[in-house]
Structure 1
Amino acid sequence: MKTIQIGHLNQPSSRLIYGCMRINGDNSADAIEQGKNAIRAAVDAGYNHFDHADIYGNGECERIFGEVIKESPELRDQLIITSKAGIRFAGTPTADDVGRYDFSKEYITAQVEASLQRLNIDALDLFLLHRPDYLFDPQVVAETFEQLKRQGKVKQFGVSNFSPSQVSMLQSFSTEKLAVNQVEINIHNISAFENGTLDQCLEKHMVPMAWCPIATVVYEAWGNTFDQDTVNRIHQELDRQAQFYNEEKWIVILAWLMIHPANICPIVGSTNPERIKAATRALDIKYRREDWYRLLQARNGQPVP
């Protein structure tokens, strides 16, 4: 497994990150065991970075991961554990509450503490603000970060789904360097290539983590806007590239993402041990610039200007 340094963490991160959003399945005993096996398969395949959020499975995904840590405590020092908070579902804490974002000191602090308890760990290696709170006070967030760092509950901080201007604004208030921006990047959503997100990651030495990296290739993209002709063009080009690289299409698309000099780290969310391991083959593809642009042209339906 290839690695990348994230901020000042004590160990480098695996280039592929294992996403724990689905490890609870339907919460049945069989699904939970499958989730645990997926975690172990990821470790065996060389993943050492695991991505969580307080809302995944309403906390169940963190709890299941915490059980794995309890069963194999030697794993803790080998892993980078990330979690996120800031999204509040409708009906919490009272029935008539609307869904919202909340970066208040009280809420963020409480959610970090709850995540630590569920994960059965003393500190998060990375804590990310999950989605921008339109009403957040950057000074309050900066103070919250400093408090969590001082208390030893979080080692490094980052954001998720932030625009470049939001990153810059928060960083101007915080003495804690933002190490990560976790955003959607895939063949459907290429906004990170165009809106300055990846430029900023390169400039500020932040690591871009890509959620839903194989959307359109394996499953429909979030908020899909593609017509069938566009999907057909993409798959036709991916069929050609899959034959050229002697790989599966979804593995080729991971290589398409990782060729970017910002060192995009795709988040792999499968609970199938074979697919978890297979994803690592993308790291060995010597992907060509020409093919990157061929796929972009297929997506757009026209050559670059």
Structure 2
Amino acid sequence: MILVTSATGNIGRCLVRELQESGHAVRATTRDPGGAEFPDGVEVVAGDLEDPDSLRDAFAGVSGFFLLGSPGDVPAILHRAAEAGVRRVVLVSSLLAETHPGSFIGSGALAGEKAVRDSGLEWTVLRPWEFTSNAFWWIPSITEHGSVYSHENPEGSQVVDPADIAAVAASALTELGHEQRIHSLTGPEKLTVAQRVAVLAEELGRPVDFVELSTEQARERMLEYMPAGIVEDMLATEGGDPGLSDTVRRITGRPARSFRQWAREHIAAFG
């Protein structure tokens, strides 16, 4: 049995489906099991990462589990897992742990990584770059104004599809050879915000304008829906280019998915 925590998130949903379709027994945790929908055959249980004791039942009979980020008391979560006989954990960290270790996200990611290394479990750390699904943040301004208002990084970003992160996580949870390994993950190309907006406009079949904001203008907008530490990281971590990783192709046997592929699959959400 493999446990997927954060199972209703962008990565978690893909991972549940990936594991279930490949024939593995899957248990998914969510704070509200009654309000969650998963494929037939997936066991759904209540669990809250902010309350490690709530995961005792979820860990029963589990061989490995998926953990997104560094939620709550990570050492306590890992201790509960070890007590239950869980052998393996796959942690989604952040590539900022490598490129900007002193940043808010980077330092938090390193703390989570240390916890899994110290847990006594077999561990694999995934360090993805920016997610393609961050484009969901633009939905209100696209549907209401036909525009995206954003700070621009002229260097572009190697955005990675959560489905690719899930595919690598599935391999790390079910195959040998990933123990005590760190895998860096990027998409197959570097795209500026303006280029991503142009792709969305093409897939929508209607104009979507890109309006570049100053750093201060972007900060004010982003603080309306993001924690301050994350906002500062997003505005201050340009540079430190991680390059393009071939991890997805190397582990899954297929190339990393492009932003256009992601956009085409999710374009209905943009109205």
Coarse TM-score class (shorter-chain normalised): 0.3 to 0.5
**TM (normalized to structure 2)?**
0.36
